[in-house]
C-alpha cells in the first residue's frame, strides 16, 4: 500500500488507481481506518490535519468545476448565522449538474458568461483550496435569489457585508450590474446605509 502514502491528503479513487493502488487495497485501508471516505470515491488520510470544511473538500473532488455559493458561501464569509443543511454549489449552464447524495448537495446553474465573476477560494484543509464566491458576489447572488432563500437572509447578508471594514459597495454594485440586479441591490444598499 505504498501507493497510498504518495497520495495527497484528500484524493479520489481514480487518483489512487493511477498511483498503483488496487481498489481492493483502497477499500481495505478504508475499512481499517487508515483512510476516511468523505463521499463516494473521495478519501482522506486519517492522520491528515483536520479539515475546516470537509464537506467542501468532498464536493470539490466530485465536481472540480463547481463553486461554493449562496448560503454555504455566506456562512464561510460570516454573512449569516444560518448553518446550511446542504452544500450549495454553482455550475455553469448548460453543463449537467452533478448528483451528489453525500454530503447533501444542492446544485444551482449560473450563466456561463458570469460564472467565474467574483471567484475566490477558501482553505478547506491545510494547503487544500476550494473554489468559492467572494463576499460581494455572495451578497448579490442572495439578493437576486431572495425569492428562494427569503428576503431576510439576503438583507441580513447585505447589512453584515456593509458593516465590514473591508466592504466595497462599489464592487457590490458592479457585480449587481453584471448580473442584471443593479436596481434592487442599489435600493437595498441605500436603505441599509440610511438605517
Quote the pLDDT of residue 68. Answer: 98
- Extended beta strands in the chain, E state: 10-12, 35-39, 42-45, 67-68, 87-92, 105-110, 119-125, 128-133
SS3 98: coil
Q: How confident is the model at residue 95 (pLDDT cuts 50, 70, 90)?
A: confident
C-alpha 113: how far from chain center: 19
- For residue range 46-88, what is the model confidence (pLDDT) as tens digits? 999 999 999 999 999 999 999 999 999 999 999 999 888 999 9
In the chain, where the domains are located: 2-45, 54-194
- DSSP at 99: -
Quote the pLDDT of residue 127. Answer: 94
- For residue range 5-59, what is the model confidence (pLDDT) as tens digits? 889 999 999 999 998 999 999 999 999 999 999 999 999 999 999 999 999 999 9
Q: What is the pTM of this model?
A: 0.91
- DSSP at 51: P
Amino acid at each position: 500500500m505504498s501507493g497510498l502514502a504518495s497520495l495527497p491528503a484528500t484524493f479520489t479513487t481514480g487518483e489512487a488507481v493511477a498511483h498503483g493502488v488496487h481498489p481492493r487495497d483502497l477499500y481495505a485501508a478504508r475499512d481499517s481506518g487508515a483512510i476516511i471516505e468523505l463521499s463516494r470515491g473521495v478519501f482522506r488520510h486519517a492522520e491528515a490535519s483536520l479539515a475546516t470544511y470537509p464537506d467542501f473538500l468532498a464536493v470539490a473532488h466530485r465536481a472540480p468545476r463547481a463553486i461554493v455559493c449562496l448560503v454555504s458561501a455566506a456562512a464561510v464569509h460570516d454573512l449569516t448565522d444560518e448553518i446550511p443543511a446542504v452544500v450549495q454549489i454553482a455550475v455553469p449552464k448548460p453543463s449537467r449538474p452533478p448528483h451528489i447524495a453525500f454530503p447533501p448537495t444542492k446544485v444551482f446553474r449560473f450563466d456561463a458568461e458570469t460564472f467565474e465573476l467574483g471567484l475566490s477560494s477558501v482553505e478547506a484543509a491545510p494547503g487544500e483550496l476550494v473554489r468559492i464566491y467572494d463576499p460581494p458576489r455572495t451578497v448579490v447572488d442572495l439578493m437576486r435569489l431572495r425569492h428562494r432563500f427569503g428576503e431576510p437572509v439576503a438583507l441580513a447578508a447585505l447589512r453584515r457585508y456593509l458593516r465590514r471594514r473591508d466592504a466595497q459597495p462599489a464592487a457590490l454594485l458592479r457585480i449587481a450590474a453584471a448580473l442584471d440586479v443593479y436596481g434592487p441591490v442599489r435600493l437595498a444598499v441605500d436603505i441599509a446605509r440610511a438605517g
